[in-house]
């Protein structure tokens, strides 16, 4: 704020008033007129009588530090608004049994376990995961002994569990349409009720799923007679 016209022959020590810049950031004029200060070109440090203005920046109140959300957290939030709480499991106690392989040799970490109940929900999850660039680890019954269904230990991926997709959609004389989460033993029972037999079988038939068998190309105890799982698959419904 400019000083009014005045006589330099006297020391008036007129104060400057506070003012604001931008309406939010207060600045305070603190130097009095005719105070002795060092001039900008005074190499000897001689103190001269000059008009000066010292601006002190008054910082705004410190705001709490906000930790940015991870891509995994953003994906979880987006999915909770689209597919519902039952599909997005975040309780650590519910997720913990699915973070290790059957032998306990590999241990992973995941912020959530996604449990779609339909192909449309799988497609929605895959689409959002691609947008947020978050990896998904598909999982069936999790009887794996090689860690293929175990999420990485750094928590960068979410588990995509297909166990809720357990419907046998169609049952015909020579083929069956089953969802990825159908347990092998349940499929055996369903076709047996129609006087048929699904030839692939193995020790984990009470927990392994059709999707997992196809993904790992399981063989089982009758593989020499009927071939591996992929030899028994006529087609797939996939979410890309």
> What pLDDT is attached to residue 37?
45
CB 171 within 8 A of CB 148: no
> What pLDDT is attached to residue 81?
86
Strand ranges (E), 2-64: 19-21, 25-29, 36-38, 47-49, 55-57
Composition of the chain by helix, strand, coil, percent to 5: 25, 20, 60
Tell how far CA 227 is from the center of its chain. Answer: 39
Residue 63: exposure state from Cβ atoms within 10 A (0-12, 13-18, ≥19): exposed
> What pLDDT is attached to residue 67?
81
Question: In terms of Cα–Cα distance, which of 39, 47, 1 is closest to 20?
Answer: 1
> What pLDDT is attached to residue 61?
65
Rounded to whole angstroms, the Cα distance separating 24 from 65 reads: 21
> What pLDDT is attached to residue 39?
46
> What pLDDT is attached to residue 84?
77
> What pLDDT is attached to residue 206?
94
Q: What phi and psi, each to the nearest 5 degrees, are found at residue 69?
A: -75, 145
> What pLDDT is attached to residue 49?
44
CB 90 within 8 A of CB 204: no
- Going residue by residue through the chain, which has 240 residues, state the pLDDT in tens, using 9 for 90 and above: 444 554 545 454 555 454 444 445 444 444 444 444 444 444 444 444 444 444 445 556 666 777 889 999 999 999 998 887 789 999 999 999 999 998 889 999 999 999 999 999 999 999 999 999 999 999 999 998 888 899 999 999 999 999 999 999 999 999 999 999 999 999 999 999 999 999 999 999 999 999 999 999 999 899 999 999 999 999 999 887
**Pairing of β 168-171 and β 176-178:** antiparallel
């Amino acid at each position: 704020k400019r000083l009014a016209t005045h006589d330099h022959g006297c020391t008036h020590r007129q104060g400057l008033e506070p003012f604001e810049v931008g309406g939010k950031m207060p600045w305070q004029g603190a130097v009095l007129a005719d105070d002795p200060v060092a001039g900008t070109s005074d190499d000897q440090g001689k103190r001269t009588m000059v008009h000066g203005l010292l601006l002190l920046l008054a910082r705004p109140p410190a705001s709490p530090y906000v930790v940015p959300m991870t891509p995994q957290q953003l994906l979880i939030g987006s999915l909770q608004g689209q597919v519902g709480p039952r599909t997005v499991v975040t309780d650590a106690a519910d997720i913990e049994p699915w973070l290790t392989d059957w032998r306990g040799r590999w241990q992973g970490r995941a912020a959530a376990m996604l449990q779609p109940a339909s192909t449309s929900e799988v497609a929605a999850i895959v689409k959002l995961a691609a947008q947020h660039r978050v990896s998904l680890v598909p999982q069936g019954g999790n009887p794996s002994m090689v860690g293929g269904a175990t999420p990485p230990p750094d928590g960068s991926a979410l588990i995509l569990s297909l166990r809720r997709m357990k419907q046998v959609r169609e049952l015909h004389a020579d083929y069956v349409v089953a969802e990825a989460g159908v347990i092998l033993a349940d499929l055996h029972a369903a076709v047996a009720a129609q006087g048929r037999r699904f030839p692939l079988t193995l020790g984990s038939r009470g927990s392994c799923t059709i999707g997992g068998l196809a993904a790992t190309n399981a063989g089982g105890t009758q593989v020499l007679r009927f071939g591996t799982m992929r030899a028994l698959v006529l087609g797939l419904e996939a979410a890309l």
